[in-house]
Amino acid sequence: MALACNSGVRSLWCTLGLIWVTDPQLLCSLVRMSSPISMSGSHYRFFCESLKVTCISSQIIEPWRFTHLSASTSHLIAPHGGELIDLLAAPEKAAELKAHSREWPSWDLTARQICDLELLISGGFSPLRGFMTKADYEGVCHNMRLASGILWPMPITLDVTEEFARKLTPGSSKVALRDAEGVMLAVLHVEEVWQPDRAAEAKAVFNSTSKAHPGADYTINKSNPWYVGGRVEGLQAPSHYDFRTLRFTPAELRAEFVRLGWRRVVAFQTRNPMHRAHVELTFRAAKQVEANLLIHPVVGMTKPGDVDYYTRVRCYQLLSSKYPQGTQKLSLLPLAMRMGGPREAIWHALIRKNHGCTHLIVGRDHAGPGSDPETKKPFYGPYEAQETFKKHEADIGVTMVPFSMMVYLEEEDRYVPDDEVKKGDKVLNISGTELRDRLNEGRDIPAWFTYPEVVQELRRSFPPRAKQGVTIFFTGLSGSGKSTIANVLMTKFLEVGGRPVTLLDGDLVRKHLSSELGFSKEHRDINIRRIGYVASEITKNGGIAICAPIAPYDATRKHVRQMIETHGGFILVHIATTVEVCEQRDRKGLYAKARAGILKEFTGISDPYEVPADADVTINTGELSAEEAAQEIILHLEREGFIGVNRAGE
C-alpha cells in the first residue's frame, strides 16, 4: 500500500528510545515496510519488524494527510477507561462492509444520533464502543455506571421505530447507519433490541418529566420508542464543510497539545456567545490553576432558541487576541447537549478528558435549562452541578474549576465573581433576554458588557426586528375570515414595500403543495408542517410570510412556532369567530355536509378545534371588519418592532 506523506511531515516519535525521524522519505519507507493492523481515520498503528511506530493523523481532508506531531502522548491525561477508542474501520474492511450493506436494513440517523455517532467513532465517548446495550443503559440511568463499573452519566442510545425494531434479530442483524443524504457512516452490530420506559429514563437522568426540560421532552415525546444496542464500526465520520481548521478529534487535539507543549489544559464549555465576563472568567480560571485554556464550544445540538453556531464561532474567533499569546486554543465539539445539569457537567468533563484536558470550568447552573414555567422553579440549583461533580471528582479524573457568575463593578471598571461583591458596590449586568431585546430593538450594547467587534458580528446575524423576516400565522375555523384578512394584510404590506410578501393560504397550499393529502389528523399535521417549513425559509431570508390554514391542533402550531422563531418573528393570530357565525357564512355548504355526515373529520363539527392559549393577537370577525382586523395586526407588529422606524442607524 502506497502512502503519500506531505512535506509538512518532519517528525515521528518511536516508542523505543524516542527515535527522531526527520527525513520524510525515511518516514514513508518505515510506513511502507510496516504491517498495518488498523488503518483508521484518526489513528494509524503500524508495527515494524524491529520497532513499534505509532502515528496519529489529522482528520482526513485529503487522503493519507498526516499532521506534524508526536506519537508519544503519555504525559497527557489518560482517556476515560484508559484507552482512546477509535471505531473507524480500515479502508479494506470499510469497503467490504459497504459492499455487504445491500443485504442489511438501513437507518437514517436523526441530527442527534449523528452527533452521538461522530463522538463514538472518534473516541470522544471513550470507553463506549457503540450504542448502549440494556445493561449499560440501566446502569447509567440508575447509578451513573456502565456494566463494567466505569463512571458514565448519560445514556447513549439508538432510538428507532417499532416497525424497524421488529425487523432486527439480536446477535445476527447488522444495520447500515446513514446520514440524511443516504451516505453510509457506520454499521451497527445488533446485540439487543428493547422497549425502554422513557418516562422513567427522563426522571432518572434529568430528574424531570416536564415538556419544558429539553432533555426530558426529547426522551419522552420526540425520541423513537425502541432502542437498539450494539458495537459500531465506522466507515467515515460525518462530513463538515465549515470551520474545518477548528474541528479536532480527540486524537488530533491531544497531538496538538503535545506539539504546543501543553500538559495542564482547562476546558471551557459553552453554547452561547462569549462576552467580557466570559473572557475574564476563563482567564482567571486558567491563571488560578496555571493551565492553558481550551475554548471548546458545542456546535452540535444545543437548547432551542440558542444563537446559531456559525455566528457564535465567528464571535469566538474575534476573542483570541484577548488572551496571552500561546495560552489559548479554540476547537469545536460536535456534541448534542441534553441540558442535563449535574449529570451533564460530569459528562462534559469526561468528554474533555478524552480530548486531553485536565481541568473543566464548571459555572453557575452548568448546562441547566433554566426554570420550569409551570412551577416557576429552576430545574437544578445554581451550584448543584458543582456539588455533584465534587462528589465524583476522583472517578471523573478531571479537576473542577468552580466559578460563580461574573458581574461588573461600575466604579472599579472590572469584573468579579458575584460572591466577591461587597456591600455598597454598584453592580451592572445584562441578561441574555435583555441582550436579545437590545439587538431586536437596535439599541446600544455597552462596551463594558462586550467588545465592539462582537457586537458588530451579532448585529450581522440579528438585525433589528424592522429588518428581520416575520411570519403571521392565522388559525381559526373554516369560514372564520382568515383568508379575507390575510389578503387585506398582504395588500397593506405590499403598499408599504421594503420586504417581499408571500401568502400561504390554506386552500392554495392544499392545491399546489399538498394535493395528495386527505383530512385525517396525520395528514393535517403534515400539511401544517409543510406550511411552517416554507414560512421558515421565507422568514429566514428576511421576507414576510402570511399563513392562513385552519391549523386546529395546538402541538402542531407550537412545532411551527419553534421552527420559525429561530429565524425571525412569529405572530400567532387566532380568528376567534364562533362556529355559529361560520356556519351562517358557509358559501360552500361544508358545514351542512359535515352535519349530515357526508364530510368526515370536519373541524368544529366532527373533529375538535384546540383553541390556542398562546395567541399573540385574538380577533372576532363578528365584531370587526376585515380591514379593521388587519389594522389590529399591523398595530401589534408595530408594537413588537417588526414594522416602523429602525433605530440601529441613529
Catalytic residues: 270-272
Integer Cα distance of 255 and 66 in angstroms: 11
Cβ atoms within 10 Å, residue 561: 18
Integer Cα distance of 139 and 135 in angstroms: 6
Q: Which residue in 523, 515, 531 sits closest to 475, CA to CA?
A: 531
Category of 362 on φ-ψ map: left (φ > 0), alpha (ψ -120 to 50) or beta: beta
Helices (H), 123-206: 134-143, 162-165, 198-206
* Burial state string for 314-331 with b = 16 or more CB within 10 A and e = fewer than 16: bbbebbeeebeeeebbbb
β 501-505/544-548 pair status: parallel
Q: In DSSP terms, which residues pair with 472 in a beta bridge? A: 546, 571
What is each CA distance from 611 to 107, 354, 418, 615, in whole angstroms?
37, 50, 45, 9
Cross-sheet strand order for the sheet of 44-47: 35-39, 44-47, 52-55
Residues in the chain: 650
Cis peptide before 334 (omega within 30 of 0): no
Integer Cα distance of 253 and 329 in angstroms: 10
Integer Cα distance of 638 and 465 in angstroms: 10
Integer Cα distance of 342 and 354 in angstroms: 19
Q: What is the DSSP string of 190-222?
A: EEEEE---HHHHHHHHHS---TTSHHHHIIIII
Q: Which residue in 284, 314, 285 sits closest to 297, CA to CA?
A: 314
Integer Cα distance of 419 and 414 in angstroms: 14
Integer Cα distance of 280 and 42 in angstroms: 34
In contact, 284 and 292? CB cutoff 8 Å:
no
User: Is residue 426 classed exposed, middle or buried when 0-12, 13-18 and 19+ CB atoms within 10 A define those classes?
Assistant: exposed
Cross-sheet strand order for the sheet of 328-330: 328-330, 292-297, 265-270, 359-362, 399-402
Q: What is the DSSP string of 434-481?
A: HHHHHHHHT----TTTS-HHHHHHHHHHS--GGGS-EEEEEE--TTSS
Cα dihedral value 484, 486, 487, 493, nearest 10: 150
In contact, 196 and 146? CB cutoff 8 Å:
no
Three-state DSSP class for 170?
coil
Integer Cα distance of 469 and 562 in angstroms: 15
β 414-417/52-55 pair status: unpaired
First vs last C-alpha separation in the chain: 65
Q: Which helix (H) or strand (E) holds 347?
A: helix 341-354
